Chains A and B, each alone.
Chain A
Amino acid sequence: MGNGRIAKFIGVAASLVMVAACTGGGGTTPAGSPGAPSDSSGGSGSPGGSAAGGYQGPLEWWQLGYAPGGTTATSKLVDDAVAAYEKKHPGIDITVTGIPFSDEGLARLDTAIATGNGPDIFRIASDRLPSYGAQGVLSPIDDYLTAEDKADILPNLLEGVAYNGQHLAWPQWVPPVGYYLNNAVIEKAGAKVPDATWTVADFMKLAQDVTGHGTYGFATYMGAAGVNDLTLLYAEGARVLSDDNKTYTLNSEAGVKGLQVMVDLFKAGAMPPDSATIKLADVEQGFIDGRFAIMPTGSGSIANLKSKNVKFTVLPPPIGDAGKPVTVGGMGTYAVPKKSDPARVAAAHALGRYLTSAEVASDVPGWYLAPATRKSIKVSDTTPEMAPFEAMLPNVQFMPLIEKWSQLDAAIHPEIQLALAGQKSAKQALDDAGAKITPLLGK
């Protein structure tokens, strides 16, 4: 049996592993270790809207889709924003970590926050706020909202971060879903590009007129976590839930009518055959390639389309029985988790306000990739293509802000896909979705 031999051997193996860690691990900078809440550097910054006057020290910022030195718009803008903020507040040292834009990445974010190892501030879409709210892990912005803030932020958008009477995050921007029309494709088919007063009937006719020769009139993503396909239902006046979030209402006559529009278009061959499973990126690529004439998606696609020299027009969704243009969207926000050091939390909130304000727009040109939530910011000044999206802001409907939203979402889209594929009627599909959703409500 082992004399020192075994011990020696284990030592060798262990050191091999250690070497591996040392060459690669290096994670001993503050960015590597989870933000330590016990860091009580700095003075007694009282919570209450004042700038991070008292706090000096590190701040950890997690950003979805960010890569240090990366070449995407997100990465570059974030780097610029950090530089600008640190210049204005010397003594604050911001480290940004990227989170992959996937479910696993989001699960990692959730786990870190739930176990108290999260960052000081992070970027998140508003639909995820309710689950954080239910866990009580976020520091609400209410104590840090100045009067100026309250006057500046559009009220219906401020409601987009409301949960149980508190506002959970700094609203940054809302990319409404607009209808992109490929000018070249439409004109080649001999049709005219409509204007913002177009109706659902106009839309259906146009989509069918331009279909042919490898071109489909209308294409949309209808998979998980999407909202683009719901625009046609909302255009008729339907909503997923009632205002008090207690009743499922998507299977109203309006909802059925809206879904029927898509079903009819698919049956008429005006939508691509793989509509049920097509991915968002493929819709965009098809639009760029000229295979799709009309696609509903958020304002984020503008940059890509411009870089590929696609001539396009953006319109609000066609007007249905609702009588006026209605669109849907999500909201990008910056949220601040609760931590034990009030000065640090206040500093994080100050950063959050900065990143969602007009100040950052002047420091970092092009920071706003979507219409901002503040009246003081006109994104279309720097990006003219944003104008139609800005015009849509007052008409944006958010998805219900409830904890189980992802489960509702997962109940709705498969039914839409099945209706499109002709497996069940539009009414049946929406009813079946309701059968799954109703038990989830009112819990």
Chain B
Amino acid sequence: MTTTAERAPGAPRRGVRFWRRYGAGYLFVLPSMVFFVLFMFLPLGWSFVISFQRSGLAQSSWIGLDNYVSLLNDPVFGQAAFNTVLYSVVTVAVWVLVSMVLATLIHPLPPRLRTFFRAAYYLPSVTSAVFVALVWRWVFNANPWGLANYVLSLFGAGPLGFLSDPSPFLGANVALWSVILSSVLTIPAVGVVLYSAALSAVPRDLYEAAEVEGAGAIAKFRHITIPLLKPITLYVAVIYTIAAFEVFERVYVMTGGGPGYATNTIVYLIWRTGFRFGEYGLASAQAFLLFIVIATISLIQFRALRSDVEY
């Protein structure tokens, strides 16, 4: 936009020109932005501000970075962070891989079967997370009459504590791996649908050429499907990562963070610090630390898979 020294008489002034040019854009985003500012950014700002305070609701005092520093030195927070990262890494990796494989398997089926499977996989995610977690808690009951233990008994294995056993296991503990297991046994429906869509856009001649050269199914998958699905993989990985890092209902319903500190996750800690202890300042600090982690990981994922993706 330039400022001209002279203006033709009767020509609109800069302000009006600005409005004419950009006004529509602003007006279209206006309704959404109003609600965003009022109910998202304002509360976020309040949270950010009090993360530098020692705050209950009624009193607060400025303590600068003390909240953040104490968190970084807090072994409970450290363990929760570790649990969250382990949970996310395993879960996201499995979900991305599984959804890619499932979508690839569904793709060549006749249309009726395709729709059937996609619907069957998507159905569970339409129900509330709390209820699903309740069911898993029931399944992983430590008593011999818990379903999972019953299945184990069929193989002659003893009853496992599953969700009540904090014994070390594979770098973490049994309870945490049980939670991860319940997650892994959940079908990544969104990923399946997204990959299905992307697959339909993959040109056939590539596969034909590979077949001519004698490539089998696995080879085709590795060298054609996976690279071509990179853009979608980025999107899927990012949304699943965000969701995994914010895991809460699952832990709240299944274990309550226990036994001991075995299944604490960051968001569970945030909730507990805010709602149980009433320490909203500290809870906000925890939340913003989480935000930094998620944002960083998303950025890394973007860079890693960015090359041929335009967003």
Is chain B in direct contact with chain A in the complex (CB below 8 A)? yes
Residues in A with CB closer than 8 Å to B272 are 410
> Do the beta carbons of A224 and B278 come within 8 Å of each other?
no
A245 interface hit (Cβ, 8 Å): no
The residue that A6 contacts in the complex, of B27, B59, B258, B261, with Cβ under 8 A, is B27
> Do the beta carbons of A407 and B277 come within 8 Å of each other?
yes
A1 interface hit (Cβ, 8 Å): yes
- Stretch binding the partner chain, chosen from A67-75, A172-180, A415-423: A415-423
Question: In the complex, A418→B255 CA distance in Å?
Answer: 14
B57 interface hit (Cβ, 8 Å): yes
> Do the beta carbons of A224 and B276 come within 8 Å of each other?
yes
> Do the beta carbons of B278 and A418 come within 8 Å of each other?
no
Question: In the complex, A107→B20 CA distance in Å?
Answer: 48
> Do the beta carbons of A1 and B20 come within 8 Å of each other?
yes
- The count of residues in chain B whose C-beta lies closer than 8 Å to any C-beta of chain A is 36
> Do the beta carbons of B59 and A135 come within 8 Å of each other?
yes
Closest to B279 in A: A407
* Contact flags A273-302 to B (C-beta < 8 A → 1, else 0): 111111000000000000000000000000
> Do the beta carbons of A134 and B56 come within 8 Å of each other?
yes
Residues in B with CB closer than 8 Å to A111 are 57
The residue that B57 contacts in the complex, of A13, A115, A223, A422, with Cβ under 8 A, is A115
Question: In the complex, A261→B164 CA distance in Å?
Answer: 20
- Closest chain-A Cβ to B193's Cβ sits at a distance in Å of 30
The residue that A273 contacts in the complex, of B27, B142, B256, B271, with Cβ under 8 A, is B142
* Contact flags B261-282 to A (C-beta < 8 A → 1, else 0): 1000000000110111111000
> Do the beta carbons of A273 and B164 come within 8 Å of each other?
yes
B124 interface hit (Cβ, 8 Å): no
Question: In the complex, A358→B31 CA distance in Å?
Answer: 58
Closest to B20 in A: A1
- Closest chain-B Cβ to A212's Cβ sits at a distance in Å of 14
> Do the beta carbons of B31 and A10 come within 8 Å of each other?
yes
Residues in B with CB closer than 8 Å to A274 are 141-143, 161, 163-164
Closest to A405 in B: B277
B259 interface hit (Cβ, 8 Å): yes
> Do the beta carbons of B258 and A114 come within 8 Å of each other?
no
Residues of B232-268 at the interface with A, using a CB-CB cut-off of 8 Å, are 255-261
B115 interface hit (Cβ, 8 Å): no
Chain B at the A interface: SS class: loop
> Do the beta carbons of B57 and A418 come within 8 Å of each other?
no
A103 interface hit (Cβ, 8 Å): yes
Residues in A with CB closer than 8 Å to B256 are 223-224, 277
- The count of residues in chain A whose C-beta lies closer than 8 Å to any C-beta of chain B is 41
A406 interface hit (Cβ, 8 Å): yes
> Do the beta carbons of A276 and B259 come within 8 Å of each other?
yes
A404 interface hit (Cβ, 8 Å): yes
A131 interface hit (Cβ, 8 Å): yes
Residues in B with CB closer than 8 Å to A225 are 276
Residues of A36-68 at the interface with B, using a CB-CB cut-off of 8 Å, are none
B166 interface hit (Cβ, 8 Å): yes
Residues in B with CB closer than 8 Å to A413 are 258
> Do the beta carbons of B277 and A421 come within 8 Å of each other?
no
The residue that A1 contacts in the complex, of B23, B59, B274, with Cβ under 8 A, is B23
Question: In the complex, A421→B175 CA distance in Å?
Answer: 12
Question: In the complex, A135→B57 CA distance in Å?
Answer: 8
B304 interface hit (Cβ, 8 Å): no
> Do the beta carbons of A1 and B27 come within 8 Å of each other?
yes
A414 interface hit (Cβ, 8 Å): yes
Closest to B145 in A: A214
Closest to A273 in B: B142
Question: In the complex, A116→B159 CA distance in Å?
Answer: 52
- Closest chain-A Cβ to B233's Cβ sits at a distance in Å of 36
Residues in A with CB closer than 8 Å to B276 are 103, 224-225, 406, 410
- In addition to A223-B256, A276-B260, A421-B161, 11 A-B residue pairs with Cβ atoms within 8 Å of each other are A2-B27, A107-B278, A136-B58, A224-B276, A273-B143, A273-B159, A277-B256, A277-B259, A410-B277, A415-B260, A421-B259
Q: Measuring CB to CB, which residues of chain A are less than 8 angstroms from any residue of chain B?
A: 1-2, 6, 10, 13, 103-104, 106-107, 110-111, 114-115, 131, 134-137, 223-225, 272-278, 404, 406-407, 410, 413-415, 417-418, 421-423, 436
Give 11 pairs: A residue, B residue, CB < 8 Å, sorted on A. Answer: A1-B24, A103-B275, A134-B56, A135-B57, A274-B141, A277-B258, A410-B277, A415-B260, A418-B260, A421-B161, A421-B259
